Structure 1
């Protein structure tokens, strides 16, 4: 009896099996406890890995003819797959009811459990259970959310937002200089951002945000080997242009006289493209023109003003004001009206 108790203790410790002490009539069969074999551990696979490539398997040995053994895999509280046997050993690979690829919803604790029942004639239908657990982590692929740019003549702020696990973000400037946001290796399901602050003389050109994951994943079929989960970089570029003030040219006469009731069009152009985009405003005798009127119509992105059916009140000075953060330019036209009483 002492030897049986000692063996019972060794089995429980070696295989992490929770044992229920048997009544006196069953102890002659106690040496037939199942051995649940699986190394356990924590394994990380990349999001998108084929589920049927995961080769986690556990098996039970030391079975007896008059016992019913049930071996099963479950995820959290959901049963995935099971098998039963009356004799011999039983192997059961981890499988999912449906195929497809791993998603973040597949992360969590997976349990391989064994139960067996001895018929009432032997042990009053006692059930003994044991289990091993495997934590399966699905590393989420990094995702680029967006980049933002705030630029003035004297400063530049670029921000890159990304989502994922173990994410690192780097900015590469036009000169090849790298701005690095160190990864946080233990973080999961977070949103990260990397910011460039450049002041007083920033470099004009293309800046590139690069997002990648430092997570290491198990290679399907060989859980003892690991490789980078997501070696492919996600990139997005931002173009930083030099500030250019607007310079206005004109196709129309600066001073002209028209008959009462005639139409006239005032037209200007820009000698080059200003940066940032310029705001265009027309004024009549110092007051902003109401362009919602049918008699005053804007076109060509605000560079052309048409005056319809001239009235005596339309005479005076018309000024077009073009401005951006880099500068301001303007042109004035003087219109006289003939035929006034």
Structure 2
């Protein structure tokens, strides 16, 4: 837990969050009218609100013991992107690095019963985003979500898991080890009170936060009934970019993603497409300097870096060299670990 970013709300803010039967949007309207929670509480009897503070005080004690932080809408540390939503949560609870919701974020979501292809694509896209210093947001569910978190964490990247239950509840329970790793290295977030169990109706609410925290949403695999399509709908309402990975038209889990493309989502053809569309770049300098590459190798590397992705034919024309020469140089750079190939033709600077 980042102690410098740990904001423990006042008992009156927790009291407001615990009030039953009041929607998050209505809580915001109450604060707008009464200026702050302390003033609202002072008038609680008049407007017939429960004034018992015991549960709020007990919750604060529980949160302190379990290293659970929280931030309310009126606090300056509240995520900016969520503040711009039509129905932002009044309170966010978290475990881990709260600073991550102030970094560039991309959501990667998809089917729980994902195919091996869906998992691999999700892992590789998340790994690529991490290399571009982009935080990967997902929901810790089976399949695509788990693969996305794991891909982001592989080489020390950042990830945020948004829960449809309390941040102290592991769901699914088989992801306990992954949840622990995210808590230690990334961030777990929920608008639901600690101890809140998972319920089906809470996950669509969770999905609006996944898209709300992110600059764009990537759907890697989804059937027509997939919850990830709800996330994409929220993203469209929030003005976010939507990316979709095309799939085999004979597979059920490709119907949703292919339809998103048909409806205007940006197709993800290579792992570089997201960063190229959104203007993210990877830091290469230190990695290249750490490698012992010659002048001609550096010349070839710089062209690949500039193009983002290219082919042997393009490199031959650009450098006026034979295919055998370029192939040899590419092989050397791959062995040294500064480029990699994808689909046998495209070479990508790591």
Return the TM-score normalized by structure 1: 0.24
Greater per-residue strand proportion = 1
Structure number, greater radius of gyration: 1
Return the TM-score normalized by structure 2: 0.24
Greater per-residue helix proportion = 2
